A and B are shown apart, each in its own frame.
Chain A
Amino acid sequence: MGTAVATKFKLKGVMQAPVTPMKDDFSFDGDGFAKMVDFHVRNGAPAIAWPHHKAESLNLTIAERKLGAEIAVKTVNKRVPVSIFVGTLSEEDSLDIARHAQKIGADMILAISPYCRRPSQEEIYDSVVRIGTHTDLPILTYNSPWRNGEGVEFTGELTKRLIDRLPNYIGMKDASFHAQKYLEISRIALNMRPGFSIIMGVEHLLASYPLGACGSFSSSGAIAPGLCNKFFGALEARDWDTARDCQFKISRLWHLFKEQYPSSLKGAMIMMGRPVGPTRSPLPTATEERKKFLRQQLEELNILQTEPHGW
């Protein structure tokens, strides 16, 4: 029952989830996006995953998402695995994007039951099975429980049923960031399906790596890829002191970026010489004042001085 399809890749490390660059008129900047993807691969990303919330996924049209997926796959050119996020408001769109991802040669998809609906456990099960049986690609799911029982929550029991049902179910992006919720999934999934990948939604890795998390989909990698790689290296070397330094620094970055994500992140990227443009409405675009503040913070954290500038 725990037997999974064999994958050609092993997910590990701080995997990068690029933002979506926009032109000044808010249109999708395909050239900028190709540069963004290439930047991450050249700076050590062990995988590319797009378009997550950080990439304004719900603010892209389905056509833009397909175009971006094509650019990502083509730019990466098999150097590392590529995951395409298929979460949408309508499940039919998710199926469409999943079909397209397989056709263009992506390596896996990341799925979630359409959110904003507070789906029940049965509804989440049905969605994931429908998407997961609709494609031959390996599938990851996205656990996104919000604080008050809203959101889409994968319990341990649901995860178990999905592993039983789907041989191509290879991992979970976990955004619970909560020791008990994390362990409900990990203690079942990691023992039932060896090699199952638990990937943290942000680099909250010091709390989760010892408990079997294999890496993260990065938030701060757009600003500080060197810090991310150093952090993961320290975890693998069990150098807990260095890991703690990195974690606390990354936590401060996350604190700067998490409000109205990814507006501030994009603003800070501009300060690092990577002009990724504005953030689509209803999210605000970082003001000049905010960008100046972010620049000061990056300088204080010694990131402005040590991390790569430009593309």
Chain B
Amino acid sequence: MNSKFKPGLVHTPITPFKRDHAVDYDTYAKVLEFHIKNGAEALALPMPEGEDMSLTDPELRQLLEFAMKQVKGRVPVIAHVSDAGTAIAIERAVHAEKTGVAAIVSHPPYFWHPKPAMIVEHLVRIAASVKLPFFVVNPPIESVGATLTSAMVLELVERVPSLAGIVDAGLEFVFMEEIMGNTRAKHPEFQLLAGQDYPVSAFALGGSGVFSPLSAIAPGLVKKTYDLCKARKFIEARGMQENIAELHHLLKEAGESGLKDGLGGIKTAMAAMGRECGVPRPPVRPLGEVERGRIAEAMRAMPYLAAEPRGW
């Protein structure tokens, strides 16, 4: 099991698009600089909030190469490599390794409604194709029938020597308890990273990092909450965690996707913070004027956003 790489506070940048839906690299450079300047200890890209599923294979490779050149080693970059096809994902992981990324993170293969053995096999093969530390995302329940069980995680721990940890976006207490409780004796270096901006519960159970989409909007709040969790000041972190939950709820509920991915919401909120970065790529629908107004109004009523950076 790989114990060396501990990514800590990981920001997960969005991917900006131009009006013609092409990747907007000028703005992407600004996005990456913003995250590095505002507390990212590592970057993971493009995660679901970076619309990875809407990018073609050549675009995914080009985006990663661009990011590596832009970041220039200032923080480690974790490449998100997920696909419905095992061989496609493997090829992309091999490419990512060549660009110099610090680690790979993968989702279970959505789309197939896979059986546990299929998911484990898929992930084992991707991990084995590279020499890098490997993280696996446990997706939220809304995702298409491909969440992990604690038994699957324990199988991965045994079979994947490079497995560094789980990025848990599922947020279930029982899952977190079981994976941390059952790995503690044999694999104390196994990492639990909160896969959405809910670090308090994960850290209390032994977690050590967070993949943060909301760092694009409120990086100060995200960083302070993370620092308190790291210092095991869980009770002191409660107020900030409630603020994060309020913001998360606002953005997640916006938009029409049954996935509740909040893609339209995040970009709308970023624009409200003075960081215009266009709208999501189809088929995700941009928010309408009414909904954008509602989000802007709700954000004005969140006093803790006043301290957050405006503009780039």
Chain A residues with a Cβ under 8 A of chain B: 147, 156, 177-180, 182-184, 186-187, 191, 204, 206-212, 238, 240, 243-244, 247-248, 251-252, 254-255
B245-A251 in contact (CB<8A): no
A131: min CB distance to chain B, Å: 28
Is the C-beta of B201 less than 8 angstroms from some C-beta in chain A? yes
In the bound complex, residues from chain A placing their C-beta under 8 Å from that of B242 are: 183, 186-187, 191, 211
Selected from A147, A207, A240, the residue in CB contact (under 8 A) with B177 is A207
Could you name 21 residue pairs across A and B whose Cβ atoms are closer than 8 Å? A147-B141, A177-B174, A206-B177, A206-B205, A207-B200, A207-B201, A208-B201, A209-B204, A210-B200, A210-B234, A210-B235, A211-B238, A211-B241, A211-B242, A238-B235, A240-B232, A244-B204, A247-B177, A248-B181, A251-B174, A251-B177
B200-A177 in contact (CB<8A): no
Minimum CB distance partner of B194 in chain A: A179
In the bound complex, residues from chain A placing their C-beta under 8 Å from that of B173 are: 177-179, 204, 207-208
A207-B176 in contact (CB<8A): yes
Selected from B206, B234, B241, the residue in CB contact (under 8 A) with A183 is B241
How many angstroms from the CA of A182 to the CA of B206 in the assembled complex?
19
A290: min CB distance to chain B, Å: 20
Residues of B within 8 Å of A, CB-based: how many? 30
In the bound complex, residues from chain B placing their C-beta under 8 Å from that of A240 are: 204, 232, 234
B233: min CB distance to chain A, Å: 9
In the bound complex, residues from chain B placing their C-beta under 8 Å from that of A180 are: 171, 196, 198, 245, 248-249
Is the C-beta of B68 less than 8 angstroms from some C-beta in chain A? no
B184-A156 in contact (CB<8A): no
A183-B205 in contact (CB<8A): no
Minimum CB distance partner of A149 in chain B: B141
A211-B200 in contact (CB<8A): yes
In the bound complex, residues from chain B placing their C-beta under 8 Å from that of A248 are: 177, 180-181, 184
In the bound complex, residues from chain A placing their C-beta under 8 Å from that of B141 are: 147
B238-A212 in contact (CB<8A): yes
In the bound complex, residues from chain A placing their C-beta under 8 Å from that of B234 are: 210, 240
**Chain B, interface SS category:** helix
Minimum CB distance partner of B242 in chain A: A187
How many angstroms from the CA of A252 to the CA of B185 in the assembled complex?
14
B115: min CB distance to chain A, Å: 17
Minimum CB distance partner of B207 in chain A: A207
Minimum CB distance partner of A156 in chain B: B249
How many angstroms from the CA of A183 to the CA of B198 in the assembled complex?
9
B172-A177 in contact (CB<8A): yes
In B225-257, the 8 Å CB interface with A consists of 232, 234-235, 237-238, 241-242, 245-246, 248-249
In the bound complex, residues from chain B placing their C-beta under 8 Å from that of A238 are: 235
B177-A210 in contact (CB<8A): no
Is the C-beta of B178 less than 8 angstroms from some C-beta in chain A? yes
How many angstroms from the CA of A254 to the CA of B235 in the assembled complex?
25
How many angstroms from the CA of A123 to the CA of B256 in the assembled complex?
25
Give the A-B pair count, Cβ closer than 8 A. Answer: 86
Minimum CB distance partner of A181 in chain B: B171
Chain B residues with a Cβ under 8 A of chain A: 141, 171-174, 176-178, 180-181, 184, 196, 198, 200-202, 204-206, 232, 234-235, 237-238, 241-242, 245-246, 248-249
Q: When A211-B241, A240-B232 are in contact, do A184 and B249 touch as well, CB less than 8 Å? A: yes
Q: When A179-B171, A187-B245 are in contact, do A206 and B204 touch as well, CB less than 8 Å? A: yes
How many angstroms from the CA of A48 to the CA of B198 in the assembled complex?
32
How many angstroms from the CA of A243 to the CA of B205 in the assembled complex?
9
In the bound complex, residues from chain A placing their C-beta under 8 Å from that of B176 are: 207
B178-A207 in contact (CB<8A): no
How many angstroms from the CA of A147 to the CA of B204 in the assembled complex?
24
How many angstroms from the CA of A212 to the CA of B198 in the assembled complex?
14
How many angstroms from the CA of A207 to the CA of B174 in the assembled complex?
9
Selected from B178, B184, B198, B232, the residue in CB contact (under 8 A) with A255 is B178
A297: min CB distance to chain B, Å: 14
B205-A207 in contact (CB<8A): yes
In the bound complex, residues from chain A placing their C-beta under 8 Å from that of B232 are: 240
In the bound complex, residues from chain B placing their C-beta under 8 Å from that of A212 are: 238
In the bound complex, residues from chain A placing their C-beta under 8 Å from that of B174 are: 177, 204, 251, 254
In the bound complex, residues from chain B placing their C-beta under 8 Å from that of A204 are: 173-174, 177
Minimum CB distance partner of A248 in chain B: B181
A233: min CB distance to chain B, Å: 15
For the A-B complex with A180-B248, A251-B177 known, give 9 more contacts whose Cβ atoms are closer than 8 Å: A177-B174, A178-B171, A179-B202, A182-B201, A183-B241, A183-B245, A207-B200, A209-B204, A248-B177
A210-B238 in contact (CB<8A): yes
How many angstroms from the CA of A206 to the CA of B206 in the assembled complex?
10
Minimum CB distance partner of B199 in chain A: A179
How many angstroms from the CA of A47 to the CA of B242 in the assembled complex?
28
B245: min CB distance to chain A, Å: 4
B60: min CB distance to chain A, Å: 28
In the bound complex, residues from chain B placing their C-beta under 8 Å from that of A184 are: 245, 249
How many angstroms from the CA of A243 to the CA of B180 in the assembled complex?
13
B176: min CB distance to chain A, Å: 7
How many angstroms from the CA of A143 to the CA of B63 in the assembled complex?
44
Minimum CB distance partner of B177 in chain A: A251
In the bound complex, residues from chain A placing their C-beta under 8 Å from that of B172 are: 177-179
How many angstroms from the CA of A117 to the CA of B38 in the assembled complex?
48
How many angstroms from the CA of A252 to the CA of B180 in the assembled complex?
12
How many angstroms from the CA of A182 to the CA of B198 in the assembled complex?
11
In the bound complex, residues from chain B placing their C-beta under 8 Å from that of A186 are: 242
How many angstroms from the CA of A147 to the CA of B141 in the assembled complex?
8
B201-A244 in contact (CB<8A): no
B248-A252 in contact (CB<8A): no
Minimum CB distance partner of A191 in chain B: B242
